[in-house]
Amino acid sequence: MVDDLTLKLKEYFGFDTFKGNQEAIIRNVLEGKDTFVRMPTGGGKSLCYQLPALILPGTAIVVSPLIALMKNQVDAIRYVSSDDGIAHFLNSSLTKVQIERVRQDIRAGITKLLYVAPESLNKEENIAFLRTVHVSFYAVDEAHCISEWGHDFRPEYRRIRPIINEISPRPVIALTATATPKVQHDIQKNLGLNSPTIFKSSFNRPNLFYQVKPKNENVDREVVKFILSMPGKSGIVYCMSRNKVTTFAQILQANGISALPYHAGMDPKERAENQDAFLEERADVIVATIAFGMGIDKPDVRYVIHYDMPKSLEGYYQETGRAGRDGGEGICLAFYSKKDLAKLEKFMKGKPISEQEIGRQLLIETAAYAESRVCRRKLLLHYFGEEYEKDNCGSCDNCLMPVKQVEAKELLVSVLEAVQELKSKFKTDYVIKILRGENSAEVESFKHDQLESFGVCEKESEETLNSVIRQALIEGYLSKDIENYGLLKETPKGKKYLKKPVSFQIPSEDEEEDSESAVPRTSGGGSGGAVDPVLFSMMKDLRKKIGSRHKVPPYVVFQDVSMEAMATFYPVTMEELQKIPGVGAGKAKRYGQEFLDLIKRHVEDNDIERPEDLRVKTLANKSKMKVAIVQQIDRKVALDDIAMSHGLEFDELLSEIEAIVYSGTHLNIDYFIEEAMDPDHVSDIYDYFKESTSDSLEAAQEELGDEYSEDEIRLLRVKFLSDLAN
């Protein structure tokens, strides 16, 4: 039976069911208990505090680290409600008049969610005001910022608990996407969570594909080539430096890619405009430093490229997590060079020794991930304290192109014996030094050159021994003491192994990597087979117009997944529209009518038999596709966009257009020819057809020569036939 909470979910957000742990987390918050949530990006963390805030009396205070992220979240909440006052943010970007408006809405009991930056929470006048407010609970988003071991430590987060005590102690929910066991411990301790209920969702994102490629002098060309193979799809390119962000955005623009830069050193107005252009689909690609990381909540990012490797695996996971948040395609491509990590290590000079040690350990983990030949998903999940049971995930470069395995039983025995002899007091690089017999002042001072393990693996490479240790960590024969900067420890399983060794295999270091073929090739469009691609394309156009009119990103209107369902089930009434996933009453009321009008017209124009019971619809047949192409050309949609909306290659679309024109229908494609072709070429080819007695493509190519492409000749042949024959 559907209960009240599910009804509230449907009412506010338009969803029929909760994802993963969401329902249990929300019930825990509603019961007034402290809550810790570790959930991967795209898992639906925001809903875990948004829904209880809308249900409970009073105002929930959400501590969030970035202004851009707050604005994003507030916009999204406002558009599931008919009252803009339901959510506000309080930060340094507001004027005094705007701050007073926020306070009035809170006093009037209209505001259910108040987003606050930690710096704003520190201000005495805000503390004084919030003491007068009935606070329902506190939500601390991006809670990993509280820990020095987190990838984005912010000292202001350490002040959150004392300020909560000053305002009014209420239940706290802490949420993060990237907490290792050590970071989780720091969060609970520093926020003073009272016996919190802990919810850990799997870190596995099955829709993401992971690949790491060696970085060489051709990296610019490789990235450009990759992006050009994903036309019209949204992507993010992360670079280490602001200068590289600026220059690489220019390189992409020079190659005809709609790209914009984003970094903390830019003029704030320009930076905000670039982010909005990306969110509103006026730009396909953002080139950014990690300053862009937490300010983005776009569900249909299809690829994340790391031009430079980040300084920690937490950072890498957080940034790759921006891809495929809607559950669709997400490709995560990183370029790795040891030099980049050496640069990052250099940046740490001058910091406190303990901070340098932490930073160095995080870099070592990043290098281990990049250099490894085992399943990347398995490595990532292991790092976050989760075991991945399968040996081959089928969705990373190492699993798609597995290398030959070699027996390493004796090497593992040597490693375990060395760790034992060193009494579990040293890190990986030192253990490898001992095994390879490398002498140094440190080794001699400890008299470790006299150990039985010293030099027993002198013929083995550093890479091979690193591989043994990585695999031993994954399989639980060794563990790392994170509290003590990564000291290697023998586990009970490792002790048993020494008594009775069994086969232990590691990837061979000898095989060359064919990294070109690892990235899965994808077709254009992105819609499932049952989706009407013509309607979907028209709805995307409408969504963009509505978003522009309301000054919100298109996905705030409706997400792709909702529009795909509309293009499958053809709802024509408000009641039917609200059966679509992600369409709540508020959204249906605010945006629904224009979509219903568009769907009705499309159904009538194309004589579509609508499934009244919302059964899955098959793709429109060929004749319907031809009708749709004519309509799109009448609306002056670019031909390459029309091709993509139908899942056609450009030459296949030209064949469809030629068939339409040859059947006697007039098509005016001047708008596209003027945009895409050199005027001299247009004139030469058109004149050729005026004088020729044949419409043969081969004859035209022979006469005109190699300077004119086949597509150009075909386009002008269509124009000529349409102008003169139809």
Compute φ and ψ for 227, nearest 5 degrees.
Answer: -65, -40
Q: Compute CA distances 24 → 10, 92, 181, 532, whole Å.
A: 17, 35, 21, 36
Q: Running along the chain, 726 residues long, what does each successive block of 10 average in pLDDT?
A: 75 83 94 90 83 94 78 76 83 84 92 90 90 94 77 76 92 86 84 89 89 88 89 92 90 91 87 88 91 66 94 87 88 91 79 77 86 89 85 88 84 93 89 92 90 92 89 85 72 91 81 49 39 85 88 73 82 86 76 93 84 38 71 86 79 82 75 88 86 74 85 88 63
Compute φ and ψ for 241, nearest 5 degrees.
Answer: -115, 155
The residue count for the chain: 726
pLDDT in tens, 158-167: 889 999 999 9
| pLDDT score recorded for residue 210 | 96
| Token duo for residue 576 | 């039917």
pTM, two decimals, is 0.60
Phi-psi map region of 668: left, alpha, beta (phi>0 left; psi -120 to 50 alpha) = beta
- Angle in degrees, CA 95, 124, 103, rounded to 5: 45
| pLDDT score recorded for residue 218 | 81
Instruction: Give the count of alpha carbons within 13 A of 605, CB side only.
Output: 17
| Token duo for residue 192 | 């003073």
Provide the β-strand partners of residue 286.
236, 260
| pLDDT score recorded for residue 525 | 37
What torsion, rounded to 10 degrees, do the Cα atoms 186, 67, 587, 330 define?
-60
Domains recognised in the chain with CATH numbers: 5-200 (3.40.50.300), 208-400 (3.40.50.300), 405-507 (1.10.10.10), 533-613 (1.10.150.80), 620-725 (1.10.10.1390)
| pLDDT score recorded for residue 512 | 47
- Strands (DSSP E) along 445-515, which ranges? 478-481, 487-490, 505-507
Task: Judge whether 629 and 653 are in contact, CB under 8 Å.
Answer: yes
d(CA 113, CA 115): 6
Residues 6 or more apart in contact with residue 436 via CB below 8 angstroms: 455, 457, 458, 460, 462, 465
Residue where the block lists tokens 């393990």: 453
- What 3-state DSSP class applies to 337? coil
CB count within 10 Å of CB 620 equals: 19
| Token duo for residue 629 | 């192409």
Task: Judge whether 562 and 582 are in contact, CB under 8 Å.
Answer: yes
Shortest CA distance to 64 belongs to which of 80, 79, 51, 50?
50
Instruction: State the burial class of residue 718 (Cβ atoms within 10 Å of its Cβ: 0-12, 13-18, 19+).
Output: buried
